[in-house]
Amino acid sequence: MYAERDLDILNDDPNTYDPERDGPIDMPVTEALELADRILNSKSDAEILTALTSAKAHAKIKASDDQAAFEHDQVRITFLALNFAANQRCLLAPTFRERLRPAIRPSGQGKAQLPELIDVIYSLDRQLIDLHWLFCREKERGNLNSPKIDDYQVWVDGVLKPESAEDFVQLNWKASKKAEKLHIIEDDQLELGILRSKQVSDRSFDLQRSHDADFITIKEYCIKSRQLSLSDIEPMYKDLVALRLTQQDVTRASRLRRLMGDIEKDESAIQKQMRRRKSLFKEKLRLLR
């Protein structure tokens, strides 16, 4: 049985979220982890990626829908489970997964408007997916215990603690502070969608702002080239993204490029290609400074 929200039926919009009024949002971590295990035992990498990229979950919720019902919906649990399964297989880093809803922005002057409940749920779910991805990578490195945050840890002895994960993502801290508390290094932050410093976030926002102009430049080059075709535009743009995010470090860019879900070359082949791309983007297309 879930707790009832304390709403004033005359004045409160049930599709908004106020932490003081509504308390913590339920996070079905245990259910999603259990379903993820079943997915991992029955699906290939390609099947997981196909299901993940077609899962729209939060995007289907409208302003007029009963958004509170989504909090415990099987669709949400399945969405989280697919992301957890992809995390465990190291498929498509969270930062490169489709964005289903716009970011929650602080309101300007005047009385602050409460965010929609579905947007808050989505933000928390993305943080949870980031946290699980980080846990998987740290476990692979042999870091079996997370840093202590106050009096608890998010994972201990190589096991994620669902209640601690739920508590952590709902802390009223900026993403940069959460990243700092978890001791997330920059290379890991580049793979995450939310839990990162302002500097890393700014690089992603800069890429979004220049996306159309960058894409046009690459498209024009591919059209004029005898060796390239229109099918090369998207992979080349992803090469540019990896180089920009890593500040043109070829080794780091090559590793990040592998996590975009569309490339199967070995590490040395990717690095060789990335060196050529860096030269092209910097000297001829002027897309790197």
Q: What is the pLDDT of residues 16-56, one digit of tens each?
A: 988 888 889 999 999 999 999 999 999 999 999 999 999 99
On the question of pLDDT at 78 being above 90, the answer is yes
If you write DSSP's letter for every residue of the chain in order, what string do you get? -PPPP---TTT--TTB--HHHH-PPP--HHHHHHHHHHHHHH--HHHHHHHHHH--GGGG--TTS-HHHHTT-HHHHHHHHHHHHHHHTT-S-GGGSPP-SPPP----SSSPPPPBHHHHHHHHHHHHHHHHHHHHHHHHHT--SPPPBTTB-SEETTEE-HHHHHHHHTSS--HHHHHHHTT--HHHHTT-SSSS-HHHHHHHHHHHHHHHHHHHHHHHHHHH-SS--GGGHHHHHHHHHHHHHTTT-HHHHHHHHHTTSS----HHHHHHHHHHHHHIIIIIS----
On the question of pLDDT at 63 being above 90, the answer is no
Burial 244-265 (b: 16+ CB within 10 A, else e): bbbebbbebbbbbbbbbbeeee
Cβ count within 10 A of residue 1: 3
Q: What number is the average pLDDT over the span 188-204?
A: 97
CB 256 within 8 Å of CB 249: no
Top-confidence residue, 104 or 123: 123
Q: What number is the average pLDDT over the span 173-202?
A: 97
Residues in the chain: 289
Q: How far apart are CA 35 and CA 51, in angstroms?
A: 14
CB 254 within 8 Å of CB 271: yes
Place of tokens 């743009």: 237
Output the pLDDT for position 6. Answer: 60
Q: Between the CA of residue 151 and those of 79, 147, 178, what are the distances in Å?
A: 30, 10, 15
Mean pLDDT across the chain: 92
Band of the pLDDT at 10, cuts 50, 70, 90? very low
Amino acid identity at 44 = S
Band of the pLDDT at 90, cuts 50, 70, 90? very high
CB 161 within 8 Å of CB 147: no
Output the pLDDT for position 191. Answer: 98
pTM of the shown model:
0.92
Output the pLDDT for position 265. Answer: 75
Q: What number is the average pLDDT over the span 63-67?
A: 89
Output the pLDDT for position 2. Answer: 47
Output the pLDDT for position 5. Answer: 58
CB 71 within 8 Å of CB 25: yes
Q: How far apart are CA 57 and CA 96, in angstroms?
A: 17
Band of the pLDDT at 216, cuts 50, 70, 90? very high
- Find all residues with CB under 8 Å of 111, minimum gap 6, and list them: none
On the question of pLDDT at 109 being above 90, the answer is no
On the question of pLDDT at 13 being above 90, the answer is no
Output the pLDDT for position 176. Answer: 97
Cβ count within 10 A of residue 112: 9
On the question of pLDDT at 106 being above 70, the answer is no
In tens, the pLDDT along 246-273 reads 999 999 999 999 999 887 778 889 999 9
Band of the pLDDT at 7, cuts 50, 70, 90? low
Domain boundaries, the chain: 19-189, 198-284
Output the CA angle 87-168-193, nearest 5 degrees. 45
Q: What number is the average pLDDT over the span 226-239?
A: 96
Tokens of 252: 């780091």
